[in-house]
């Protein structure tokens, strides 16, 4: 039986509310913003409107209330002024903390979006505060206001009374009109890094007399994704999920079960089996996870996360020593990363990323995930581009010496699509419809394009123009784009000599082309140019000549022994583009062949 001396039980408050920051000192991970605001308050350089931005749960609304307390605090003796270290005990601090201060008006723009709501707010701006130093309007999710509401707010926001301060909070600054943003001083609240979150959550756990394993805390911090509120909610849930009876530790396994994550050890086993090309073992491990209740999409997400982790510690092993990293991630991660190259990890990332979208979009998610694992296992032994180039360079006429796979061969066309562009040296990508190409001897080069006829130079001024191509180039330089395109694509040169050009035009060319070309040449050169039309066939158009050159260049590159060997090594592949490179541009590991300066470049599907 309770007596008058027995304290009444307090209702339970979730950790996200219980440990909400009340001062700038309690804000975590926002040092730059705290320093700016502290200096502004000390120097009495406070803007009339703030806008606080950042992802959910980083402390935007809490910061707005801290600013309100800092501006209205009067100190324990009742004689203080604005201060970044609010006392927390004066009437104003207590009332703002308990959300009952008459001069601090909070408005949720998500539920009050209309212009009438803003007009009601504006009507109250003209009146001085009832009790506090400043009347402060806190508008949360301000980006949800309608266009008319923003327009109604603009004038007041630009010239507010000196006793009014506006504090806006939003997660979507791009949805806030620029006219509003320009009238506010903006403060960006950053995502809180995992190490800072872990330290904060450990402090909260200690105050709550809860014991959380290091690996479990790391999972919670990573799942929070930079949000303090989300992390505290997950910590609250983890303590409740584990029961924490008699001081039991919240284990990593319990948090994995709570978050729906697959067993970490089995994920490593699954990844290792797939990378080794052992399809049967990989499928058996996946079935274990699936039978235990793991979502196939979550399994692929875990594999993606593991791929990122292995790539990170492959390039920076010191990352494994960070706070919150489990012992398994340290030991198995470093061991596995040593056996894999960055190109293989990159292909794995692309394949899993594409496979995840398939699993999420198809009704039979387990079957889709199995197919992704099969493709991953078959891709594991594909030669890297560097290995293939090195092999073909050492033995260019024997494609059989290219690195082979121990698993059944995968069609290059599928590889290029399913592994996110399994890139092949020589710059080819698979294409199912293309027949297998066989080695052929170097084709005879196409005859050179006929040189344009040149007449004797008639004067000094015309020596600049020795061929029709120079005339056409001048139209591009003078920004006559339409005439330039017409001269390139629809005009056949019959005769050229300085001062006289004979042309045969195609139907697509304008009827007054000769007149216009002659007029421009006369103006630009100061000489008299005669441009006449002819019925003779003339030369191919400049475009046709360029296309013929490109076809000849592509033919020479395709017939190169290295390229032919690569085509045989990857049936169905095609040459995508040819780029000429100077010898000094080639890496030391790949020497350029003396017979051809053309290099086939890579163009993989995105």
Task: Say whether both 140 and 244 belong to one domain.
Answer: no
CATH number for the domain spanning 240: value is: 1.10.8.60
**The predicted structure's pLDDT at residue 322:** 73
Chain centroid to CA 294: 28
- Residue 453 lies inside a defined structural domain of this protein: no
Q: Is pLDDT of 590 > 90? A: no
Task: Say whether both 404 and 323 belong to one domain.
Answer: no
Task: Say whether both 167 and 65 belong to one domain.
Answer: yes
- Residue 180 lies inside a defined structural domain of this protein: yes
**The predicted structure's pLDDT at residue 428:** 36
**The predicted structure's pLDDT at residue 441:** 42
Q: Is pLDDT of 331 > 50? A: yes
Q: Is pLDDT of 575 > 80? A: no
CATH number for the domain spanning 519: value is: 3.30.300
Which of 379, 403, 429 is at the close of a domain?
A: 379
**Better-scored residue on pLDDT, 161 or 571:** 161
Which of 324, 347, 379 is at the close of a domain?
A: 379
- Residue 3 lies inside a defined structural domain of this protein: no
Q: Which residues pair with 428 in a beta bridge?
A: 424, 575
Task: Say whether both 121 and 171 belong to one domain.
Answer: yes
Q: Is pLDDT of 603 > 60? A: no
**Better-scored residue on pLDDT, 241 or 490:** 490
Q: Which helix (H) or strand (E) holds 118?
A: helix 115-125
**The predicted structure's pLDDT at residue 170:** 92
- Residue 4 lies inside a defined structural domain of this protein: no
**The predicted structure's pLDDT at residue 591:** 44
Q: Which helix (H) or strand (E) holds 551?
A: helix 542-558
- The two three-digit tokens of residue 300, written as one number: 């692929």
- Residue 334 lies inside a defined structural domain of this protein: yes
The domain in which residue 213 lies consists of 194-259
Q: Which range is least confidently modeled, 112-116, 354-358, 597-601? A: 597-601
- Give how many domains the chain has, as a whole number: 5
Average pLDDT, stretch 193-205?
90
- Residue 154 lies inside a defined structural domain of this protein: yes
Spell out the long-range contacts of 506-511 with Cβ–Cβ below 8 A and sequence spacing 24 or more: 506/541, 510/486
Task: Say whether both 358 and 279 belong to one domain.
Answer: yes
**The predicted structure's pLDDT at residue 451:** 41
Q: What percent of the chain has pLDDT over 90?
A: 18
Q: State how far the Cα of 330 lies from the Cα of 320, in Å rounded to an integer.
A: 5
- Residue 37 lies inside a defined structural domain of this protein: yes
Q: Is pLDDT of 487 > 60? A: yes
- Length of the chain equals 606
Task: Say whether both 64 and 141 belong to one domain.
Answer: yes
**The predicted structure's pLDDT at residue 500:** 86
**The predicted structure's pLDDT at residue 258:** 81
**The predicted structure's pLDDT at residue 398:** 47
Task: Say whether both 566 and 417 belong to one domain.
Answer: yes
Task: Say whether both 477 and 514 belong to one domain.
Answer: yes
**The predicted structure's pLDDT at residue 464:** 67
Q: State how far the Cα of 212 lies from the Cα of 72, in Å rounded to an integer.
A: 39
Average pLDDT, stretch 20-45?
89
pLDDT band of residue 5 (cuts 50, 70, 90) is low
How confident is the model over 255-310, as pLDDT tens digits?
Answer: 877 876 666 788 888 999 999 889 999 999 999 888 877 889 989 998 999 999 99
**Better-scored residue on pLDDT, 170 or 570:** 170
- Residue 450 lies inside a defined structural domain of this protein: no
Task: Say whether both 26 and 159 belong to one domain.
Answer: yes
- The two three-digit tokens of residue 321, written as one number: 């020593």
**Better-scored residue on pLDDT, 253 or 52:** 52
**At how many degrees (to 10) do helices 264-275 and 365-379 cross?**
50
Cα diameter, the chain: 123
**Better-scored residue on pLDDT, 578 or 64:** 64
**The predicted structure's pLDDT at residue 496:** 87
**At how many degrees (to 10) do helices 228-242 and 214-224 cross?**
140
**The predicted structure's pLDDT at residue 455:** 40
How confident is the model over 144-156, as pLDDT tens digits?
Answer: 998 888 988 888 8
**The predicted structure's pLDDT at residue 589:** 44
Which of 173, 188, 203 is at the close of a domain?
A: 188
**The predicted structure's pLDDT at residue 50:** 92
CATH number for the domain spanning 66: value is: 3.40.50.300
**The predicted structure's pLDDT at residue 583:** 58
Q: State how far the Cα of 393 lies from the Cα of 496, in Å rounded to an integer.
A: 47
Pure H helices in 316-341: 327-338
Q: How far does the chain reach from its first CA to its final CA, in angstroms? A: 73
With contact defined as beta carbons under 8 Å apart, do 468 and 496 qualify? yes
**The predicted structure's pLDDT at residue 64:** 93
Average pLDDT, stretch 500-524?
86
**The predicted structure's pLDDT at residue 329:** 81
Task: Say whether both 300 and 268 belong to one domain.
Answer: yes
Q: State how far the Cα of 7 lies from the Cα of 175, in Å rounded to an integer.
A: 49
**Better-scored residue on pLDDT, 404 or 569:** 569
Q: State how far the Cα of 403 lies from the Cα of 391, in Å rounded to an integer.
A: 8
| pTM metric for this prediction | 0.55
Task: Say whether both 150 and 54 belong to one domain.
Answer: yes
Average pLDDT, stretch 163-169?
92
Task: Say whether both 125 and 234 belong to one domain.
Answer: no
């Amino acid at each position: 039986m309770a007596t008058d001396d027995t304290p009444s039980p307090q209702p339970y408050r979730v950790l996200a509310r219980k440990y909400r920051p009340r001062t700038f000192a309690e804000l975590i991970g926002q040092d730059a913003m705290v320093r700016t605001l502290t200096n502004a308050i000390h120097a009495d350089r406070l803007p009339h409107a703030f806008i606080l931005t950042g992802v959910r749960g980083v402390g935007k609304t809490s910061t707005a209330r801290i600013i309100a307390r800092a501006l209205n605090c009067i100190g324990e003796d009742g004689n203080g002024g604005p201060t970044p270290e609010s006392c927390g005990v004066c009437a104003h601090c207590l009332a703002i903390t308990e959300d009952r201060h008459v001069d601090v008006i909070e408005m949720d723009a998500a539920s009050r979006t209309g212009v009438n709501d803003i007009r009601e707010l504006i009507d109250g701006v003209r009146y001085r505060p009832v009790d506090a130093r400043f009347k402060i309007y806190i508008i949360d999710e301000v980006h949800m206001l309608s266009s008319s509401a923003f327009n109604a707010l603009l004038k007041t926001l630009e010239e507010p009374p000196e006793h009014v301060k506006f504090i806006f909070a939003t997660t979507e600054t791009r949805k806030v009109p620029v006219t509003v943003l320009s009238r506010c001083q903006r403060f960006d609240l950053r995502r809180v890094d995992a190490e800072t979150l872990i330290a904060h959550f450990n402090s909260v756990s200690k105050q709550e007399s809860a014991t959380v394993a290091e690996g479990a805390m790391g999972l919670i911090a990573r799942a929070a994704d930079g949000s303090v509120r989300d992390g505290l909610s997950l910590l609250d849930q983890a303590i409740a999920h584990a029961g924490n009876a008699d001081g039991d530790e919240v284990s990593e396994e319990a948090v994995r079960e709570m978050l729906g994550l697959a067993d970490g050890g089995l994920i490593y086993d699954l990844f290792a089996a797939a990378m080794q090309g052992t399809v049967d073992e990989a499928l058996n491990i996946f079935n274990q996870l699936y039978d235990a209740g793991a979502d196939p999409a979550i399994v692929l997400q875990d594999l993606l996360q593991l791929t990122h982790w292995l790539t990170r510690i492959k390039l920076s092993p010191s990352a494994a020593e960070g706070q919150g990293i489990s012992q398994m991630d340290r030991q198995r991660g470093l061991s596995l990363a040593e056996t894999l190259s960055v190109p293989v990890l990159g292909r794995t990332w692309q394949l899993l990323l594409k496979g995840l979208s398939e699993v999420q979009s198809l009704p039979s998610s387990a079957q889709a995930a199995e197919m992704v694992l099969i493709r991953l296992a078959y891709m594991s032994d594909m030669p890297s581009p560097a290995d293939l180039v090195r092999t073909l360079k050492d033995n260019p006429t024997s494609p059989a010496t290219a690195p082979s796979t121990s698993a059944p061969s995968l069609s290059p066309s599928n590889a290029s699509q399913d592994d996110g562009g399994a890139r092949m040296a020589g710059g080819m990508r698979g294409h199912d419809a293309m027949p297998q190409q066989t080695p052929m001897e170097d084709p005879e080069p196409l005859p050179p394009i006929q040189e344009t006829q040149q007449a004797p130079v008639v004067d000094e001024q015309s020596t600049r123009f020795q061929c029709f191509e120079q005339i056409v180039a001048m139209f591009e330089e003078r920004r006559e784009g339409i005439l330039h395109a017409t001269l390139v694509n629809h005009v056949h040169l019959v005769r050229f000599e300085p001062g006289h050009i004979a042309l045969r035009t195609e139907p697509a060319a304008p009827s007054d082309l000769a007149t216009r070309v002659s007029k421009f040449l006369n103006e630009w050169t100061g000489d008299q140019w005669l441009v006449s039309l002819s019925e003779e066939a003339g030369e191919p158009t400049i475009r046709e000549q360029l296309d013929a050159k490109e076809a000849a260049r592509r033919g020479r590159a395709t017939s190169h022994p290295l390229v032919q060997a690569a085509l045989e090594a990857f049936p169905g592949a095609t040459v995508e583009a040819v780029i000429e490179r100077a010898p000094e541009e080639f890496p030391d590991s790949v020497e350029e062949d003396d017979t051809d300066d053309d290099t086939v470049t890579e163009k993989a599907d995105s």
